[in-house]
Structure formats: C-alpha cells, structure tokens
Amino acid sequence: MTSARSLTPVLFFVLFLCSCCLNGCAKQTTVVLLPDPGGKVGKVTVTSDVASIDITKAQEATVIKGRQSAPTAPKVLSEAEIARNFSEALSSLPEPPKHFNLYFEKDSDRLTAQSQQVIPDILAAASQRQSQDIGIIGHTDTAGDPSYNMRLSKQRANAVLQILIQEGIQDKFVKITSHGENNPLIKTADNVHEPKNRRVEVVVR
Amino acid sequence: MRAAYLSLFMLALLLLTFSATAGAMDSIGIIKSVSGEVYLASTETSIKAVPHMKISQGDLIRTGPNSNVGLIFEDDTVVSLGSNSELCIEQFLFDPAAGKLAFITKLFRGTFSFISGQIAKLAPDQVRLETPDATLGVRGTKFLVKID
C-alpha cells in the first residue's frame, strides 16, 4: 500500500509529460527546395508515416504537420517568405569546398606547365574562404610497381605543399595524403601510362 | 573477492580503452563559422564551438538565441543552423573507393540550410534527414528545413 501511494506522484508526473508532448510538441516541418550555386534544381522526397511527396521546382515548399499527416501539395514560396524564415540560415551557409586537379610530368614530381598556372586559383580560393583546412591528395597512374607509385604520389603531394608554403600558405593548415595508384581518375589496367591519373588533388575548405 | 575486484578493474580498463578509441574517431568535417552561442556535444562532453573545430560521427550541434553556425563535411556537403537549432549526425561514411557511403542526420528543432555533396551524388539512397514530422530523401542539392 505504501509503495502504491509513493508511486502516485510519479504516475502524475509521467501523465504530465505525456500531455506536454501532445500539446507542446505539435510540431511541423517546412521543406523548401532552392537552385544550387550552379543554378541546378535537384529534388527532395518528403515522407511522413502516411504519404510521400517530391518537391522538384525552385522555391517549391511542402509542410508536414506530424508523422500522421500527409505532406501538403508543393507550393512555390516568394523570395520574401523565404527570406523571412531562412535569411539567417542562408547567410551563414559556408561556400562549398573547391577542388583542383594538378597534373605532373611522366615519372616525376614536376608540375606540367599548364598546371602551374592553376596555383594562383588555389591561393585565391584559400584566401576567399579564409581557409585553414586544405587537403592535398597525391596520385599516380598504374605504370610501375605499387610501392614505387605510393612513394611517387607522396613526393607529388609534397611538391605541391612546398609550392603552397612558398606562396604563404601555413603548413599547419594543410593535410597531406597519398593514394599511390589505388584511386585513379581514369580507371585503367595495370601498367598503363595515363596523364590524367598523374595528379594531385587539392581541396580548399 | 579478489577475483571480483580484478574483473571490475578489467572492466574499467576495457571501458577506458573503448572511450579512448571513440575519442580518436576520424574527423568527418569542420566547423567553418560561428556566431553567438554554439555548442558541440559528443557522448562524453559538450564544448563551446569555435571555427575550425573538427566534428565526428555522433556529434550533436546546438545553437542558442541569435546564433548560427556553418559546417563543411568531408564529402563537400555544407550545412548551416540558424538560431535555437539542434541537429545530430547519426551516421557519416565517406569511402567511395570501398563503396561505403552514408549520411544520416537528425534535425530536432530550428532552421537549416543544406547543399548536398558527393554522398548524395554517388549514393542518393544513403542520404536521409529525419525531422520529428518526416523523413527527407535528398536527390540534391540546395534546400531549407524549418521545424516549428
């Protein structure tokens, strides 16, 4: 009996929590599709427990009022409506990382003349993003044996690092990895010279 | 009795090693920008977020009033949270060479903007956002979410 009585407040508390959720958690989710930075419009599929809908057009939106209800028919929102709800999130969205491919002379860690001209673009992207997170990934083609290629891809990555350091990028902001011949841009058989695979990828975040 | 203490000690040791491995987990992205009060919480700790901090799978990110944060993930996905927002990165796998790709995020409250990255391109079925009301499948690329 005593234990039953002592349980009563606990039971009330649990009931209180449940009713809170029923009223206070009457949530809704709004999803809006936008063109990406290149102008392309993708697609988002929105699914509740009872129905599913696709939004496919620029500024199209759907609203879902709980898992037991169907998403509303897609409706295009005005710029003003979007700005009212999302200006803060939109203005704090980082620029997507930028990728560069630098190519090398055969069997060498010397950049091709054409790729040397890409260096200023890398520096500009780093400065624009105030980047402290630059990835350098070395690769080779499949000519030669894998351990040699692993060494060569490391040398290539290091060569690019040295160039970036000379141009004022801080060593500590750069992370180097080397994939040897394991991650070709163009898939080839073993022992194939492929200029497009003799590369270093630079990612500026 | 001594055996009991010994097994307890072994258990503690095991737990320590386990949490140490979990702490050394691979970074899956970075905090790019912070304004106001932003917290980054893992299973063990909650710390104030500052730019260039690393984020890991399982992390929870939370913003206070008049605060926002921008995130960049390893697969080039970019995400921002407006004020009073909260999300948890449930699963993030980005190993294209091994075909291991997944990006599952829970959104609890607030406003969000996204530009999806390489995982959505390579394995769109493996990208999922859960809100309290719905599940979002992402076929690209830029979109907004608000939870009231």
pLDDT digits (tens, 9 = 90+) for A130-187: 999 999 999 999 999 999 999 999 999 999 999 999 999 999 999 998 889 988 889 9
Q: What is the mean pLDDT of chain B?
A: 88
Is B15 domain-assigned?
A: no
How confident is the model at residue A182, as a pLDDT? 86
Query: B104 — contact with chain A (CB < 8 Å)?
Result: no
- What are residue B30's phi and psi, to 5 degrees? -135, 160
Q: Which residue has the higher pLDDT, B44 or A55?
A: A55
pLDDT of A7-31, one tens digit each?
665 555 555 544 444 444 558 999 9
The residue type of A29 is: T
Mean pLDDT of the region B95-105: 90
Give me the number of domains chain B comprises.
Answer: 1
Is B77 domain-assigned?
A: yes
pLDDT at residue B124 greater than cutoff 90:
yes
Distances (CA, A) of B147 to A180, A187, B52, B85: 46, 44, 27, 9
Chain A residues within 8 Å of chain B (Cβ atoms): 25, 27-37, 40, 42-48, 55, 64-67, 71, 82, 85-86, 88-97, 99, 132-133, 182-183, 205
Mean pLDDT of the region B109-127: 95
How confident is the model at residue B42, as a pLDDT? 87
Q: Which residue has the tokens 């809170």?
A: A20
Is B11 domain-assigned?
A: no
What pLDDT band is residue B9 in, cutting at 50, 70 and 90?
A: low
How confident is the model at residue B90, as a pLDDT? 97
Q: Which residues of A touch B72 (CB under 8 A)?
A: 94, 96-97, 133, 205
Report which secondary-structure segment, H or E, holds A125: helix A119-128
Q: Do A94 and B134 count as a contact with CB atoms less than 8 A apart?
A: no
What pLDDT band is residue B96 in, cutting at 50, 70 and 90?
A: confident
- The pairing of strands A174-178 and A134-138 is parallel
How confident is the model at residue B5, as a pLDDT? 65
In chain B, the residue whose alpha carbon lies closest to the alpha carbon of A31 is B145
What pLDDT band is residue B99 in, cutting at 50, 70 and 90?
A: confident
Is B12 domain-assigned?
A: no
Q: Do B134 and A42 count as a contact with CB atoms less than 8 A apart?
A: no
Q: Do B115 and A36 count as a contact with CB atoms less than 8 A apart?
A: yes
Q: Which residues of B touch A133 (CB under 8 A)?
A: 30, 52, 72
How confident is the model at residue A107, as a pLDDT? 86
How confident is the model at residue B32, as a pLDDT? 97
Q: Which domains does chain A have, with CATH numbers?
A: 27-91 (no CATH), 98-204 (3.30.1330.60)
Is B96 domain-assigned?
A: yes
How confident is the model at residue A24, as a pLDDT? 47
What pLDDT band is residue B127 in, cutting at 50, 70 and 90?
A: very high
What pLDDT band is residue B140 in, cutting at 50, 70 and 90?
A: confident
Q: Which residues of A touch B135 (CB under 8 A)?
A: 46-48
Residue of B116, B131, B139 with shortest CB distance to A29: B131
pLDDT at residue B24 greater than cutoff 50:
no
Interface test with A, best of B27, B128, B141, B148 (most A CBs within 10 A): B141
Of A89-93, A142-146, B94-98, B132-136, the poorest mean pLDDT is in B94-98
Q: Which domain holds residue B83?
A: 26-147
Mean pLDDT of the region A41-62: 97
| The pair of three-digit structure tokens given for residue A59, joined into one six-digit string | 């500024």
Is B40 domain-assigned?
A: yes
CA-CA distance, A148 to B141, in Å (whole number)? 40
How confident is the model at residue B23, as a pLDDT? 42
How confident is the model at residue A125, as a pLDDT? 97
Is B21 domain-assigned?
A: no
Is the ipTM value over 0.90, yes or no? no
CA-CA distance, B71 to B59, in Å (whole number)? 12
| The pair of three-digit structure tokens given for residue A126, joined into one six-digit string | 């780093």
Is B140 domain-assigned?
A: yes
**Distance of residue A137 Cα from the nearest chain B Cα, in angstroms:** 13
In chain A, the residue whose alpha carbon lies closest to the alpha carbon of B146 is A30
